[in-house]
Amino acid sequence: MQVKKLLHTRMRVSDMEQTLRFYREVLGLEVVEQKVSPRGSHLAFLSVPNSEELIELCSFPTSGPVTVQEDLVHLAFEVEDLDEIIRELQAKGVPITDGPTQSSSGSQFIFIDAPDGYEIELIQRAPGVMIV
């Protein structure tokens, strides 16, 4: 067996509206669909510029609040100008939780936290670098 392609990654969230605000206002992602599943989960699908894969957010209030284990999972996004991103985050009151750090390849990155404690890595790749 071999899979064909990655379609989406699902993340459970405690507060759908707060989380959607974060992804739209802080990261500039677009909500492409919202619906309620047959079992009652509230779902939202987010598109990321220049990517085919979606991020699926799932709120299922009857299962209780989400607790994200530290360093278990994070999303990484490429940015054009990390210094400009840092200024924008500061203006929006979004704290940087780690960095800026320069990798051995010359790429630079920072981490911020999304609602529920999911880590978000923002990376400015060094010229010619494919993976950080």
Task: Answer yes or no: is 65 within a domain.
Answer: no
What is the number of structural domains in the chain?
A: 2
Identify the helix (H) or strand (E) that includes residue 19.
helix 16-21
Shared domain check, 81 and 38: no
Written as six digits, the tokens of 1 are 């067996």
User: Is residue 44 situated within a structural domain?
Assistant: yes
Provide the greatest CA pair distance for the chain: 48
Burial class (CB within 10 angstroms; exposed 0-12, middle 13-18, buried 19+) of 43: middle
- Cα–chain-centroid distance for residue 128? 24
pLDDT at 65: 83
Q: Tell me the residue range of the domain where 52 lies.
A: 1-60
pLDDT tens by residue, 34-86: 999 998 899 999 999 999 999 999 999 888 888 888 777 899 999 999 999 99
Same domain, 123 and 92: yes
pLDDT-wise least confident of 7-21, 66-80, 90-104, 106-120? 66-80
Rounded to two decimals, the pTM is 0.90
Residues 26 and 53 in one domain: yes
* Domain contains 66: no
Concatenated DSSP letters of 63-122: G----PPTTS-EEEEE-S-HHHHHHHHHHTT--EEEEEEE-TTS-EEEEEE-GGG-EEEE
